[in-house]
Amino acid sequence: MNEKKHKNTHKGAVILFWIFGLLFFVLMFRFAQIQATGKADGKVLAIEAERQYEKKQTLAAKRGAIFDRSGEVLAEDTPSYTLMAVLDPKMTIDPNDPKHVVDPEKTAEKLAPLLHMDVHEVERILTKKAKQVEFGLNGRGISYELKQKIEALKLPGIGFIRDTKRFYPNGTFASYVIGYAQKQEVSSDKAKTIGMMGIEKSLDRYLQEKNGYVVFERDKDGFRLPDTKEKIVPPDNGDEVYLTIDQKIQTFLEDAMNQVEKQYKPKKIIAIVTNPKTGEILAMGTRPSFDPNKRNITNYLNDAISYPYEPGSTMKMFTLAAAINEGVYNGNELYRSGSYRVGANVIRDHNKVGWGTITFNEGVQRSSNVAFAKLVKEKLGEDRFLQYLYRFHFNVKTGIDLPGEALGNILYRYPIEKLTTAFGQGTSVTPIQQIQAATAIANGGKMMKPYVVDRIVDPDTNKVIVQHHPEVVGEPITKETAQKVLDILETVVTSEKGTGRPYQIEGYRVAGKTGTAQIPSPKGGYLTGYENYIFSFLGMAPKENPQLLMYVAVQQPKLSPTETGSAPVSLIFNTVMKNSLQYLNIRPSVEKQEKSLDNKGIELPTYVGQTVDAAGKDAKARGLLPVVIGNGTKVEAQLPVAGEKVIGGERILLQTNGTVGMPDLRGWSLRDALKACELLGLKPSIKGSGYVVAQSIRPRSSVREGDYVILELAEPSKWQEEITQEQTSQTNKEEKSPVD
């Protein structure tokens, strides 16, 4: 019995020996395998160890900002928040203070309205099999105000991750130029800001940022180990883009378009302001527009560069230039206006009957279709005219640095099309093509390529990566021709017979051409009716040396029975052009001549060094209006300066040696107000047009050189009414048809 038990014990021991031996050899083999390959269960152990004991933190980079020409921010990244929800019940230690979403249904009902999401969609997200979830695009880019509203609900498990969003501080402002960028999901847990329109899209490769990171070693509890080396990859911020857009001029344009949109309710408004000497776009806007922060977009095309249409009579500017350049234009030659037969077709003037026998110069002023048809048919020749259309680049895109530029269509197959093109019918062009072509007239024959991007800068090194310069793309006409065209186009504005009379600007000489373009009907032919036109004006100022070139088009405005299409167009052109010229300190070129004995003006003597009384008496004796600034007894400076010629009744500013206070500018013309600002070294900001009705610095307040002053202007009836009301209050206290 004992012997049998002893045998069994030996047998069991042998079995155990072999089992443990086998396990030993398996373990040794596994150790050898792991040592040789560095892998276990398909995972690289070194990487797993690094993941366990190394911490990687993201260093966030910023998308490049977009600035105007003066460095004013037009688009930038700003702090925002991403909403997240904790779903893992293990995160809650104290049931009385839950750290995860306890009631998905109730949480969804409260969150959905604030996120503009469907309740069921929010509830679906909150019931996912995940430890933590986000809410997609609706949960990203949350403002601080919305964050506060959500936090006030005190919903368990709902929290925020600090993020950034794209912000456009000016709202609806050059929106189709700047465009917009927004977060796009690139994976289930990652989003990226991507440019979708405008500069944000076309220069996305420059604006894109790349996050950096820092890696350091940590212990098993996640704390950083002392004296460990860091691996740092710095963030690569996106490049900064500086535009040629001028924030002040763009603001003038936006305000004027808003006023016309509200008053006339047109289908479209298109406006471009450029420097014809360089091709720089200073302002560009359209209506309808959108706020890039809200992305309330109804039209995804930038009509200023993407909308080809029959331009109407603004095209006559280039036909005239071609005829003059070829030496075939005689402005004093007579022709019979009214109608002109071309085969089976008859070309008629816009008033259908014409004005009898008139000169070609008068035909330009009256915008006679017959005059320009005869110029091409009988003087210039259709083939040569086509060559000038090419020389003005109406057959190719301008190549402006904005996405989506379209190309017009030159209709030149049939005899009638060759002549209607001369006055802007049949052939279609884009607004930006007209702007480029007109730079040749405003710039002595040199045609400048339009552009909106001035430079691109690396913000980390301040190195200029891309720098754009003015580019001459052709010389379709000579300098002498350009001057002759300007002379004639000025008469379009100044002549009593001119269609451009509404575009006169006090103090400045304007040259330009009106346009009334027909709109093709979907049923064939053209739309009919008093308002069914695109009314436009292509003008430049000052005429003697144009510094600004502007195109304005207003499509199908709601006009009163007494208004013509020039009313909304001139409201934009005149306001923006005048304010922009004054803002750029381009001095008026024309003075209103008063009827006096001396039509040549009064030459100012020097008043500097004289007593205030003596200077004042002398100025009054000359028929001038002296204004004393300061409480001293001697004159230290004057405007206008000695030697300048002035007209009777003009204000002469005399600055004394005493304490200088802000003068009361109310009721002053803008020109006089700007003289006061120049004398005092103030920086003016102009709102409106007409005469000063309000100023941001109170009269008699002390001022320092470099101070900013806001001047609000209104028409004479308005400022007289406001000043009369204020004086009364103070006393009580103390006591048709288209034009072309």
Model confidence at 528, in pLDDT bands (50, 70, 90)?
Answer: confident
pLDDT at 181: 94
Q: Which two tokens stand for residue 405?
A: 């530029």
Residue 242, strand partner residues: 67, 455
Q: Specify the range with the lowest mean pLDDT, choosing from 406-420, 625-639, 667-681.
A: 667-681
Are 305 and 404 within 8 A, CB to CB? yes
pLDDT in tens, 293-333: 989 999 999 999 999 999 999 999 999 999 999 999 999 99
Highest mean pLDDT out of 582-591, 627-636, 665-674: 627-636
What is the arithmetic mean of pLDDT over 34-46? 52
Question: What contacts 70, CB < 8 A, 6 or more positions away?
Answer: 246, 247
Higher-confidence position of 699 and 158: 158
Model confidence at 216, in pLDDT bands (50, 70, 90)?
Answer: low
From residue 455, how far is each of 303, 458, 469 by CA, in Å?
A: 24, 10, 9
Are 329 and 379 within 8 A, CB to CB? yes
Q: Is the peptide bond before 288 cis (omega within 30 degrees of 0)?
A: yes
Model confidence at 731, in pLDDT bands (50, 70, 90)?
Answer: very low
pLDDT at 59: 67
For residues 542-572, one letter each, b for 16 or more C-beta atoms within 10 angstroms of the residue's C-beta and e for the rest, the string is bbeebebbbbbbbbbbebeeeebbbbbbbbb
Q: Specify the range with the lowest mean pLDDT, choosing from 16-25, 474-483, 552-561.
A: 16-25
Alpha carbon of residue 121 to chain centroid: 38
3-state secondary structure of 72: coil
Which residue is catalytic, options 80, 313, 536, 669? 313
Averaged pLDDT score across all residues of the chain:
85
3-state secondary structure of 552: strand
Half-sphere exposure of 257 (CA within 13 A, CB side): 27
Neighbours of 295 (CB within 10 A): 12
DSSP code of residue 593: P
Q: Is the peptide bond before 542 cis (omega within 30 degrees of 0)?
A: yes
What is the arithmetic mean of pLDDT over 642-647? 74
pLDDT at 104: 92
- pLDDT for residue 268 is more than 70: yes
3-state secondary structure of 317: helix
Q: Is the peptide bond before 640 cis (omega within 30 degrees of 0)?
A: yes
Q: Specify the range with the lowest mean pLDDT, choosing from 157-166, 331-340, 549-558, 661-670.
A: 661-670
Question: What contacts 607, CB < 8 A, 6 or more positions away?
Answer: 615, 618, 619, 635, 638, 642, 652, 654
What is the arithmetic mean of pLDDT over 119-143? 88
From residue 46, how far is each of 214, 233, 665 by CA, in Å?
A: 19, 21, 79
Q: Which two tokens stand for residue 292?
A: 């890039």
Q: Which two tokens stand for residue 557?
A: 């405005």
What is the arithmetic mean of pLDDT over 644-666? 79
What is the arithmetic mean of pLDDT over 262-284? 97
- pLDDT for residue 724 is more than 70: no
Q: Which two tokens stand for residue 32?
A: 């050898």
Neighbours of 642 (CB within 10 A): 11
> Is 313 a known active-site residue?
yes
CA distance 235 to 208: 12
pLDDT at 657: 82
- pLDDT for residue 726 is more than 90: no
DSSP code of residue 312: G
Looking up tokens 């007409």, which residue turns up?
A: 690
- pLDDT for residue 550 is more than 50: yes
- pLDDT for residue 679 is more than 60: yes
- pLDDT for residue 231 is more than 80: no
CA distance 52 to 225: 13
Are 639 and 680 within 8 A, CB to CB? no
Q: Which two tokens stand for residue 635?
A: 């004159």
pLDDT in tens, 608-636: 888 888 888 888 887 788 888 888 888 88
How do beta strands 268-274 and 281-287 pair?
antiparallel
